[in-house]
Structure 1
């Protein structure tokens, strides 16, 4: 990244790069040092700090606001890429929003000090802060808006103004400290709402609007009002749904999880197409977010978009998607105008609007084609709009100073209380919250001075924690004069975790219910650690989740881990709290479902290699039906569960009725993988048969049955080969080979399936070979075989025989009828039964372990045993063949030895005849004598 160019390279293809050009490209991931005050300053020209970003972007926003233009700045990108850091900042590293507010008031002070006309002018600044979550709008400065359905978006009153919200609180502020206080209040309210409603902050959009009005006389002495609205938008995380993971319940475009961002993308595409000359409609009304951002995207506004990127190679696809989104957005042109009108004209327009609305109630409304109900709804809306306009007129009658004083009085008690709490934190033991969003961490504080404190979901509990799995009487904190502090659950049904474990000792990390995560802080301990020079451990949401994961049994150590392993850990940390919440909602809504995290290897998915993936096992407890949901499928369902749960909390009559079906259940009864067997084919490389019973194993590696299988080399007509073994498999390279794989039958399959079948892929094959479907029994007979032809054999095929097993999947469809003994049980009772079953299995496993005399070094994994068995069989066959050949060789040697002795004997007789002839002086040997020797 440099100047205005961003280049991205695919980690899988190092030479494949894509280049994008924008107005600015900032690098902010390294090349900095931390000052004593915590500010991150650059150590080279590459790093862009917060001041650099504001000077390039925020200062232009301010200048345009002074000129009377509406301005918008919004941040887009995946969760964790730095959107909130750029917009809000963290501690000393203030983001664009606080610096803009600070600089705005500095500008007001400077103008009043140096400009004569400005001294007589009136500068009005007010702030509003809202959040959009699941298509519901909440006013973060007004907790009463957190009611059922949230605020309503009414529409646009005037081309130069923004959207209208029902009862949106717009707070007058007199200085930067007041703005800071209101934003802090909004953030606290946002944290409470997210915790109480089990909401995920990375899925919410936050909009801070600064209304800036300048009232002054022009050169003609006429009173003029220049207005500007600065919209600062922190969008939700833009994670794309992985299309490969959408199985069963496919990720739906209209689901609440990403509807707003999907609609935003559609609007930006449509606006870009319009710039290219196309005549199409822009679907602003398809979501709350796009309705609110209509002016910012294509209307009266000067707009800047920040695209936040992650440089991590595991986020390549997400980063590329963000860059493409920004590249499309940069072509959009807005048409901003100065919002300046005579002050009395604004008042006249408001009065005229009120008069028009009042006139609509003077007689009957007759409109063709509209039902009486629709007419009544139109009348109700007009009454609401009239009431709002009248309230605004009343507000306009008040002077700005009167409005400031009213707001100041309303805030004074809150400010005093907050300052008192901050001071008390320095000396009093207390709890502070953890949140996945660092901006929301530490926003909720519960002081625990000496005494007893009850924790529950409603008054009269001292500490009220609303949300999933928090009971009315949940836990008790006992502070014995700050020397000993104890935490205990009220009873065994109250879920309280300390460092992810059942409470056994005093520690600092606490979890109440399913989604209240707190850190315990004792000022005396902190002072002692500082005095002793002990390093104080920093606790964050991620470190807390890692601690919980470790106690469940997951390895969270990153030392020596590959990128795939680190990505798997991150997926686990993300999914764990969601699974906990889903289980809590299932129990509270009595859905009788249980969800567990499952790590699925590529082999279990029928692949030779690849990454282990996080999935969710969904179990319907009345009949023990189990379904495997891909991570993305589950995340989509979880947010739909949350929507259903919120409607239940809001006491809606049809809370359990949804357009897309019940997100808790698997209603289609899809085919599932019962288990897999692994068949090694080394014997085929020696032209040998192989027949065996191999284990059928679940995704966890547990044995769920046995599979009788056979692999056999054969001739072209399918008949078996006889005594055609080869010593060296490479002898087969270049030759033709045929062999059969036969799945005979399975044994001891659980009796919970209506139908069952098997499937496998041939070595180097890509297509599944499926057996016929049969009515399931515990011992199904498949008798399924297929012939494979290799014309010719390659070294690649021999390597496949040697190193890669054929994966045989046993598939089935589960029975839908339930256990009659469980039919009338609710979720809590079924969960208790599940715990008893798990305890029984654990005890049984421990008992087997105690009575096992098999030496540990002799234990092998099933696949290793099968591999070894095949190798031994091959060796035995080769030994038999060699023994036969050795016997033949010994026989030949004996014959040759006998022949050699016979020849030598005859040669000796001939030599004796020669000696005898020489002694007699005879020059020749008679032929008869030689013939006599040779014939013997």
Structure 2
């Protein structure tokens, strides 16, 4: 079997409207098969280069005409180009009887689904492949071939290591479908529905059905677009009679895979976090990366174990990557500078995949042989089960290795269960092979006409359709709104509503939609119902307009469409409503600035806000449903507010315990990890499983000894650049800019021996550049703090100076709001550099004040539940849709001005002292009737480091015989006149 390398194609996706509006900087370049990427933070560096089989530029060079992307530039690579290069090969492999796999990898929003599925008229590889397959089948049938063709279609989803059959979601039990292993066929999904199809239209209908099921699951939190893998399986069988009269079956299995998004993960969470938050996040992708790396090493001749069994995904892709398959990888890239790290990671991932080699063979056997092998295996399994399962032949070895009788019994039962499953699978396959193709088709006929009729009705009838972060999932749920009234609610209502929405914050009776002679109105059916229209809370009864955006509950986002209104005034409704634009609108209505596009930082901040606002709403809804007494709020924090001297403004999360009035600030990534655990808790709750967790595993809790950043103090160091001491009481401010106390800080310059420079020393630096090349010594003193809120204890400070990488920590002080740190730290720089001078002049020392929060008695004596507490807060604070907090002004500016004022005052005092010395010089010369003063004396007074040096130089004036008397003429050199 000849080996063949995995083919790798990289594709830069089309820009989205937000990127276009903000003018994102491009960092990707393509030339034939070479792809380059430029670090936007190091534009002078050489770009990194990668070579792949294909490189597709699809970012621009096109126009959108009725949603169809039409090329207007030779550089644009459209869907047809991608299919001609990649899909045609997959199609040929299927006809030749080879197994094939095509999978798309990349971060969320990079265009994986666009390449694999496409959208609207821009069909991707899967629909074009299926269409062309049946075109060729029909052509061969028309030519009179005697070969019989059979095509089956399957569609599954992997989320959190659980497999769901999207064509039969009801069969997916708790924990999902089982992945089994067959000695000859490898891993397979037990009871996965393979639907016989006989036309491309049937495949399209099945694909829509599977996608709708995926979308419904998404809104009910069984899966989300960025965390679920979707695998479309197509089995193509060609049956013919060979020259010996045997019926031959040539079978090709094609797997087309849209992988989950590889998310940005800037941090791994707080040190010491006791939750395994990352266990279920990108686990499959991490395992796939390990498999690809191991296979790449094996291709180089290294003997390594390939960890296919580490995840469900890698089990199912074992043949594709390490077995009998011809495999293609599409690496989807975002070209924007804000995604540099993720794009570089994807390119490196693809580079490793290109090194993998597979060995594919034609899958062709006589049908009689296949049936005979199935019968033989069936008989072997039946015989083994009758004899009591597998014989434990290694009993003595097991005992030597410490295997207990209970463990041996558990292994035996597991093996028997595996055999029983294999027996059932072979019986099903045997029965399936004996069935005629007509019988198989009859079992799956019907059900498609209704969906086609709904598509037609959308063109004339008002309706709602869903929006999803994954464009492939948008528009999959449609509610037609003909004349009459429609109740909106969940499936627990006594009278089933016409519009059923399940999941978070959806009431039994949530809303009412009324179509009255073509005018469509919406109103709440319950005071507890959450409904937003175009980002504003619904109040009373409101008439809906075409393209209105409606949020039901926490995560059901819909668009209202009224074909008649659009037809009457099409110019009033320009543009397409997207998930991102709808979420931006909600963010805007909650006070966040979504219009700024001045920098990369602004763009990244807005991206995070669009993602986090619905996530916060979802987390709060789960807390409310499970009565966790926790509320989350978005806070936009500058680096200084986070205790950093530099960095970018970031979206963080405030986690607030409503019962105990404790607050914790979480970085974005920690919140994302915790949210997926919250989703698992809620899923267990809805399925009636044991969902309650101990505090150490509960994603809504923090341990009692969890330290929090109380606030920060910004100490500007300009005074040290002039060798001036600084003693200040500075505000301790939290992330909101609120003053939480004072910190007594001193910066004191020193002599080499460590002795502090006193005021009497009067060492004067006219300009900080005079320090370059000299030594510099100073002391940082943190004496005490005062006025810190009594809720904090174990208070201490942390900071770092200049290029230090490790934080300096003070002692912890318990049981007081005015801790005395008595901290003193000396810093010695033997040679001052210009960088150090610039640091002293322009930078600042950030002192972080940390502590733990005391656990007070419950403030809510009446033991209100989470929902009641949130409602009470909303009433007291006014409108609060998403619980967001606004960005505050930078508290460091106040401290900066204070230090600048102190330095200016000190410098002014020194200048006045210097002027006084010159006045003394002039007065002395006049007193002794001197016409001139030596240049050396003037220079000494000018550069004198203290008054003693200046006085000593001035004392030379009366003794200068060559100075001459006032009014006398002299031509002696070496003197100058002081007027």
- The TM tier, using the shorter chain, reads 0.7 to 0.9
The 3 A distance-change label for structure 1 pair 485 and 835 is closer
| Runs of at least 5 residues in structure 2 that lack an aligned partner in the other structure | 1-29, 396-404, 881-888, 933-963, 969-979
Partner deviation per Cα, 1:264-309 (whole Å, 9 max, x = no partner):
1111122222222223322111111111111111111111111112
The 3 A distance-change label for structure 1 pair 763 and 383 is closer
Matched length = 875
Which of 55, 60, 84 is residue 25 of structure 1 equivalent to? Answer: 55
The 3 A distance-change label for structure 1 pair 332 and 899 is closer
**Partner of 2:249 in structure 1?**
225
Alignment of 1:877-892 (within 5 A): 877-878=909-910, 880-881=912-913, 884-885=916-917, 888=920, 891-892=923-924
Look up the SS of the partner of 2:359 in the other structure. coil
1:774 paired to 2:813: yes
1:483 paired to 2:519: yes
The 3 A distance-change label for structure 1 pair 765 and 897 is farther
Bigger shift: residues 356-365 or 225-234: 356-365
Which of 511, 531, 535 is residue 500 of structure 1 equivalent to? Answer: 535
Which of 67, 72, 80 is residue 109 of structure 2 equivalent to? Answer: 80
| Contact 1:2 1:46 survives alignment (8 Å) | no
Look up the SS of the partner of 2:342 in the other structure. helix
Look up the SS of the partner of 1:148 in the other structure. coil
| Contact 1:679 1:866 survives alignment (8 Å) | no
Partner deviation per Cα, 1:107-143 (whole Å, 9 max, x = no partner):
11111223x4x2x221101100000011111111112
Partner deviation per Cα, 1:58-102 (whole Å, 9 max, x = no partner):
111111111111111111111111111111112222111011101
**Partner of 2:901 in structure 1?**
869
**Partner of 2:639 in structure 1?**
602
CA-CA distance at 1:871 after TM superposition: 4.6
Bigger shift: residues 162-171 or 437-446: 162-171
Look up the SS of the partner of 1:609 in the other structure. coil
Distance of 1:333 and 1:111 partners within structure 2: 33
CA-CA distance at 1:733 after TM superposition: 4.6
Partner deviation per Cα, 1:591-622 (whole Å, 9 max, x = no partner):
22222223332223443322122222222333
**Partner of 2:344 in structure 1?**
320
1:474 paired to 2:507: no
Which of 482, 494, 514 is residue 554 of structure 2 equivalent to? Answer: 514
**Partner of 2:316 in structure 1?**
292
CA-CA distance at 1:792 after TM superposition: 4.6
| Contact 1:595 1:618 survives alignment (8 Å) | yes
| Contact 1:248 1:670 survives alignment (8 Å) | no
Distance of 1:125 and 1:666 partners within structure 2: 54
CA-CA distance at 1:747 after TM superposition: 2.0
**Partner of 1:807 in structure 2?**
846
The 3 A distance-change label for structure 1 pair 883 and 408 is same
| Contact 1:151 1:166 survives alignment (8 Å) | yes
1:429 paired to 2:462: yes
| Contact 2:105 2:346 survives alignment (8 Å) | yes
**Partner of 1:239 in structure 2?**
263
CA-CA distance at 1:44 after TM superposition: 4.0
Distance of 1:506 and 1:167 partners within structure 2: 48
Q: Higher helix share goes to which structure?
A: 1
Distance of 1:135 and 1:907 partners within structure 2: 102
Bigger shift: residues 659-668 or 781-790: 659-668
Distance of 2:270 and 2:922 partners within structure 1: 68
**Partner of 1:744 in structure 2?**
783
Please, what is the CA RMSD of the aligned residues? 3.1
Look up the SS of the partner of 1:408 in the other structure. coil
When the two structures are superposed, what TM-score results if normalisation uses the length of structure 1?
Answer: 0.87
| Contact 1:9 1:17 survives alignment (8 Å) | yes
The 3 A distance-change label for structure 1 pair 484 and 125 is closer
Look up the SS of the partner of 1:461 in the other structure. coil
CA-CA distance at 1:889 after TM superposition: 5.8
Partner deviation per Cα, 1:773-828 (whole Å, 9 max, x = no partner):
11142222223233333445555444333322221211112224543656944322
Distance of 1:205 and 1:727 partners within structure 2: 66
| Contact 1:489 1:496 survives alignment (8 Å) | no
CA-CA distance at 1:204 after TM superposition: 0.7
**Partner of 1:931 in structure 2?**
none
| Contact 1:476 1:490 survives alignment (8 Å) | no
When the two structures are superposed, what TM-score results if normalisation uses the length of structure 2?
Answer: 0.83
**Partner of 1:591 in structure 2?**
628
Distance of 1:68 and 1:183 partners within structure 2: 24
Look up the SS of the partner of 2:164 in the other structure. strand
Which of 576, 582, 596 is residue 613 of structure 2 equivalent to? Answer: 576
1:276 paired to 2:300: yes
1:140 paired to 2:166: yes
**Partner of 1:550 in structure 2?**
588
Q: Of the two structures, which has the highest relative contact order with CA contacts closer than 8 Å and spacing of 6 or more?
A: 2
1:199 paired to 2:223: yes
**Partner of 1:442 in structure 2?**
475
The 3 A distance-change label for structure 1 pair 502 and 43 is closer
| Contact 2:296 2:356 survives alignment (8 Å) | yes
Look up the SS of the partner of 2:56 in the other structure. coil
The 3 A distance-change label for structure 1 pair 327 and 823 is farther
| Runs of at least 5 residues in structure 1 that lack an aligned partner in the other structure | 842-856, 901-905, 911-936
**Partner of 1:180 in structure 2?**
204
CA-CA distance at 1:875 after TM superposition: 5.4
**Partner of 2:487 in structure 1?**
454
Look up the SS of the partner of 2:373 in the other structure. helix
Alignment of 1:873-912 (within 5 A): 873-874=905-906, 876-878=908-910, 880-881=912-913, 884-885=916-917, 888=920, 891-892=923-924, 895=927
Alignment of 1:143-154 (within 5 A): 143-154=169-180
| Contact 1:2 1:27 survives alignment (8 Å) | no
CA-CA distance at 1:55 after TM superposition: 1.2
| Contact 1:245 1:631 survives alignment (8 Å) | no
Larger C-alpha radius of gyration, 1 or 2?
1
| Contact 1:188 1:443 survives alignment (8 Å) | yes
The 3 A distance-change label for structure 1 pair 833 and 788 is farther
